[in-house]
Amino acid sequence: MVLSFLKTVKSRIPTDLAPDVSRPTVGIIGGLGRMGRWFAKFFQDAGFPVLISDMQTELRPEDLARQCQVIILSLPMQVFPKVVAKLGPIIPENSFLTDLCSLKQSQVACMLECACCEIAGTHPLFGPVEKSMKGRRVALCKGRGKRWFTWWEGLLRKHGAVTSVVSPEEHDRTMAWTQALNHFILLCLGKAMDDHGIDPKQIMALATPSFEQQMEILARLYHQDPELYATIQMSNPYTDGVLETFSQHGANLRKIIKERDRKAFIELFEEVQDLGHTVLLSKKNYVDSR
């Protein structure tokens, strides 16, 4: 399986004018959640009128949907389909609907099915602990319509985001690596340490720079939402295949080590070094493109 990404648009995109209004009212459904608050602040700081609705607000999602030109769904993935089914028919055709879910295939399909307005899928590839959007990646999936999409991508870029336009399928396939497998590895590492009674403070005293970074990644989990991470593992249709491949290579590499097969180990190591070299080059390109 080779991932083929749509080319990221590098041209200047006009950002000041929304399709029909110069400063649309933005509504965030789930606006009291962590990402909801983050985006509410983002839009407020950017000078947009913002309405939010959540379980505790007087403003109901239906009223918000009628009053806003831009509607952002910041919802747990478990309740997402139900809310979209209810709101979709209310949203006027000339409005814009997008979501912030960590998965995109069923989410974009669901929005397209339930609503007639312009639609895009958005996945901010960062959490609410980040201070700003500058240099952070955002995945965008085209749904329906170009005008609002152009406005939305332009706004994100204007505020420093590095956007990538991908199909929902490509997005979810990639997330099986960058999220599901990555979290899987960290969880297994943490559980194994727990099991052996390893005290992180003590092990850090003998950490190499590489393991120190690994521990820093593990520590990032402290800020995350277990419910979201469960859904990322359990709802992505590509997770199982990726975890299977990883586990197979684990079994294979353990065999190589047990059999003291230095030749096989070194071949494998050099293959991964080649990949590492490509990462170094891509990192350079990414930094250069900012």
Q: Which residues in 133-192 contact a copy of itself (CB under 8 A)?
A: 136-137, 139, 162, 164, 166, 171, 174-175, 177-179, 181-182, 184-192
CB of 280 to a copy of itself, least distance (A): 5
Gap between the Cα atoms of 96 and 71, Å rounded: 6
CB of 150 to a copy of itself, least distance (A): 20
Question: Is residue 140 classed as helix, strand or coil in its secondary structure?
Answer: strand
CB of 141 to a copy of itself, least distance (A): 11
**Quick one: 148 or 238, whose CB is closer to a copy of itself?**
238
Rounded to 10°, the helix 105-114/80-87 angle is 20
Instruction: Work out whether 79 is an interface residue with a copy of itself (CB under 8 A).
Output: no
- In this chain, which stretch among 22-30, 33-41, 82-90, 228-236 interacts with a copy of itself, using CB under 8 A? 228-236
By C-alpha distance, which of 140, 150, 149, 135 is closest to 170? Answer: 140
Q: How far is CA 189 from the centre of its chain?
A: 23
Instruction: Work out whether 22 is an interface residue with a copy of itself (CB under 8 A).
Output: no
Gap between the Cα atoms of 188 and 192, Å rounded: 6
**Quick one: 12 or 201, whose CB is closer to a copy of itself?**
201
Neighbouring residues of 128: CB distance < 8 A, sequence distance ≥ 6: 34, 35, 37, 38
**One residue of 57, 90, 125, 144 binding a copy of itself per CB under 8 A:** 125
- In this chain, which stretch among 19-27, 37-45, 69-77, 230-238 interacts with a copy of itself, using CB under 8 A? 230-238
Bridge partners, residue 70, by sequence = 26, 96
Instruction: Work out whether 257 is an interface residue with a copy of itself (CB under 8 A).
Output: yes
Instruction: Work out whether 216 is an interface residue with a copy of itself (CB under 8 A).
Output: yes
**Quick one: 89 or 211, whose CB is closer to a copy of itself?**
211
- In this chain, which stretch among 31-39, 46-54, 90-98, 232-240 interacts with a copy of itself, using CB under 8 A? 232-240
Give how many residues touch a copy of itself by CB under 8 A: 105
- DSSP annotation of 223: G
Q: What φ, ψ does residue 193 adopt, rounded to 5°?
A: -65, -45
DSSP letter string, 29-57:
ETTTSHHHHHHHHHHHHTT--EEEE-TT-
Instruction: Work out whether 15 is an interface residue with a copy of itself (CB under 8 A).
Output: no
**Quick one: 59 or 162, whose CB is closer to a copy of itself?**
162
**Quick one: 58 or 288, whose CB is closer to a copy of itself?**
288
**One residue of 21, 89, 134, 269 binding a copy of itself per CB under 8 A:** 269
Sheet with 118-124: strands ordered across: 50-53, 26-29, 70-73, 96-99, 118-124, 137-144, 162-165
Question: Is residue 159 classed as helix, strand or coil in its secondary structure?
Answer: coil
By C-alpha distance, which of 55, 38, 98 is closest to 73? Answer: 98
Gap between the Cα atoms of 40 and 27, Å rounded: 9
CB of 76 to a copy of itself, least distance (A): 12
- In this chain, which stretch among 21-29, 42-50, 85-93, 132-140 interacts with a copy of itself, using CB under 8 A? 132-140
